Structure 1
Amino acid sequence: MGLPQSISSLLPKYAAVGAQLAELLVVSAVVYILGRYLLEPAVAWLFARRDLDPTLTRALQKTLHVGVIVATLAVGAAAAGFGGLLGGSALIVAALTLAVGFAAQDVISNFVAGVFIVQDRNFTIDDWIEWDDKAGFIDDIGFRVTRVRTFDNETITVPNTVLATTPVTNRMSNETLRISYTVGIGYDDDIDEATRILLAAAADHDEILDDPEPSVRVAELGDSAVLLQSRFWIDNPDREEFSETRSEYIRTVKERFDDTGIDLSTTTQHELSGELAVDEPPSSRATDQE
């Protein structure tokens, strides 16, 4: 028994569509493999040879990967004869564009913010940043979010628009960083002697710079203590060096105060702040300068 005439007439059409789909898959697979495993590694090798900024490199590589996917779909559709499928209906195209526009508002705004972040030379991979009482190192800047690794080795996913519109302190954008430490001494203690100890402790530390030179100022007269603020600078700052230098300095000051009998049992106030060097161009994203 033969097939009904209506079905028989449809078979060539189904066969043609099947052939188009097969051609779409084959061509798309070839284009994707060439782009993903030939073009992308070649571009990555070229970037490595030119020693480009890692933040810019990652952004360009991600852009290239998206371009490979778009090219895969476009070339595959064109080769299979599907290139004009949506082009014949302006109404469909307009409706899809409007729907995608509404659905992707946040995505687009985060993408644009990410572009501005990537081109900012004061905002790069591995930088130590602080914003909204949060802090960490930049691990990755994506099209939608920036991933920040906290000091507890947790990962915070931050929308790019947040970092683009919120004041962000970058403590590594310049070559030097100032550390301030405030200590309270008794009213009967010798301010000059305490000042000498604070300056000597800075001068004896290998990581503390001589230029700009350390300084000590009387910061405040508290209810039960005279508050002295010591300021000194470190070079090529990072979180580990920042913490270690501060800790070692405080330890040395405590031991020398004990040796000279300066009273630290009164009310004391410890403040820690980082400030960008005044002789370096300040970051446009830093907000904690005095």
Structure 2
Amino acid sequence: MGEEGAAIAEAAPVATEAASRLREFFPSTGPLGRLFTMDTAIIVVRVLITLVLSLVFVGLVVTILRKVSKKRMDARTGGLFVKVVQYLGLAFVAFAVLDAANVNLSALLGAAGIVGIAIGFAAQTSVSNFISGIFIVSEKTFTQGDVLSVDGTSGIVYSIDAFSIKLRTFDNQLIRIPNETLIKTKMANITRFPARRLNIDILVTYDSDIERTRDVLLEVAAKNQDVLRNPEPVFMVKEYGDNGIELFFGVWCASDEWFQGNNSMKIDIKKRLDAEGIQFAYPTVTVYSKKA
């Protein structure tokens, strides 16, 4: 208020002079004459100064946040964040101007509170989605272009909006997920990290040579162009099952090539195990026939 008060004090004589000149054109007893008084002129000047200073302040804040968001956020997420700040800033400007105009903000806020409650009940879902969107943006769990899996639905993040996000599925469908649903649902960011492990479960017969099977799988992984050399593959005997020996084989692929690696590895494993005479096990049923 120091700079604003000084500016008002400096402008007060000018405003008084302007009001005096205006009174020369309007009768002092008429409505226009009563309007242009020194008190009115001071209020007008104060409102104008408050409006200008508030807009400049909000503009500077938005400009700084826009520059910061470009460095730390993607374009859509940063745009959403800046837009929220702009709305809050405009609300601040409105209240500052009303206060400068000597408007009773207590009564105004009371009336606004009643109206806000009514609107809140009518738009409860929208408000919840908007607030959830702010939390989503602040968490930075995903960004545009990431692949998400939400409640069994997988797709590429197409857009991040104020009330929802949109996924483009791999069969080219557009799925809209409300922000509130996303907050409450378990979500996996499949491409968050540069590498993703491909987990392959294999069931072989009990007469299979496990060590030979392991060597064959490692050879297949070493020759596959979609498999990363580091981290190294993981081989494990999981369990002796009812129908065969359960094996686990894990290899690492680049996140954006995981689906291609999943397909090529399973094809190569099937071909190689068949060539080596290593048989896949499958559920069997033994039927005993008792003769009378």
Counterpart for residue 279 of structure 2 = 263
Question: 189, 192, 195: which one pairs with 2:214?
Answer: 195
Counterpart for residue 29 of structure 2 = none
Counterpart for residue 21 of structure 1 = none
Provide the C-alpha distance between the structure 2 equivalents of 1:94 and 1:231, rounded to a whole number of angstroms.
Answer: 58
Provide the C-alpha distance between the structure 1 equivalents of 2:168 and 2:228, rounded to a whole number of angstroms.
Answer: 29
Q: Secondary structure at the match of 2:226?
A: coil
Tell me the amino acid that sits aligned with residue 224 of structure 1.
N
Q: CA deviation at 1:115?
A: 0.9
The count of corresponding residues between Structure 1 and Structure 2 is: 225
Q: CA deviation at 1:153?
A: 1.3
Cα distance change of structure 1 residues 225 and 96 upon mapping to structure 2, 3 Å threshold? same
What percent of counterpart residues are identical? 28
Tell me the amino acid that sits aligned with residue 179 of structure 1.
L
Counterpart for residue 231 of structure 2 = 212
Tell me the TM-score normalized by structure 2: 0.63
Q: Secondary structure at the match of 1:207?
A: coil
Counterpart for residue 129 of structure 1 = 148
Q: CA deviation at 1:92?
A: 4.1
Provide the C-alpha distance between the structure 1 equivalents of 2:151 and 2:205, rounded to a whole number of angstroms.
Answer: 36
Provide the C-alpha distance between the structure 1 equivalents of 2:246 and 2:112, rounded to a whole number of angstroms.
Answer: 69
Q: Deviations over 1:85-118 (max 9, x none)?
A: x997666434312212222322222112111111
Q: CA deviation at 1:242?
A: 1.0
Higher relative contact order (CA 8 A, sep 6+): 1
Cα distance change of structure 1 residues 52 and 89 upon mapping to structure 2, 3 Å threshold? closer
Counterpart for residue 27 of structure 1 = none
Q: CA deviation at 1:52?
A: 5.0
Q: Deviations over 1:178-231 (max 9, x none)?
A: 111011212222111111111111122233222221021112223332221101
The 5 Å alignment of 1:156-175 reads: 156-175=175-194
Provide the C-alpha distance between the structure 2 equivalents of 1:89 and 1:210, rounded to a whole number of angstroms.
Answer: 67
Question: 106, 116, 137: which one pairs with 2:125?
Answer: 106
Provide the C-alpha distance between the structure 1 equivalents of 2:270 and 2:113, rounded to a whole number of angstroms.
Answer: 72
Provide the C-alpha distance between the structure 2 equivalents of 1:198 and 1:146, rounded to a whole number of angstroms.
Answer: 40
Provide the C-alpha distance between the structure 2 equivalents of 1:138 and 1:59, rounded to a whole number of angstroms.
Answer: 15
Cα distance change of structure 1 residues 113 and 90 upon mapping to structure 2, 3 Å threshold? closer
Counterpart for residue 262 of structure 2 = 246
The 5 Å alignment of 1:16-95 reads: 50=70, 52-54=72-74, 55-60=76-81, 62-63=83-84, 92-95=111-114
Q: Deviations over 1:208-259 (max 9, x none)?
A: 2222210211122233322211011123x12xx1111011111111111121
Cα distance change of structure 1 residues 137 and 65 upon mapping to structure 2, 3 Å threshold? farther
Provide the C-alpha distance between the structure 1 equivalents of 2:142 and 2:232, rounded to a whole number of angstroms.
Answer: 28
Cα distance change of structure 1 residues 61 and 152 upon mapping to structure 2, 3 Å threshold? farther
Considering only CA atoms, is the larger Rg found in Structure 1 or Structure 2?
Answer: 2
Q: Secondary structure at the match of 2:121?
A: helix
Q: Does 1:182 align with 2:201?
A: yes
**Structure (1 or 2) with the greater helix fraction:** 2
Do 2:77 and 2:160's aligned partners in 1 also have CA atoms closer than 8 Å? no
Counterpart for residue 147 of structure 1 = 166
Counterpart for residue 228 of structure 1 = 247
Do 2:81 and 2:134's aligned partners in 1 also have CA atoms closer than 8 Å? no
Do 1:110 and 1:161's aligned partners in 2 also have CA atoms closer than 8 Å? yes
Do 1:209 and 1:234's aligned partners in 2 also have CA atoms closer than 8 Å? yes
Counterpart for residue 52 of structure 2 = none
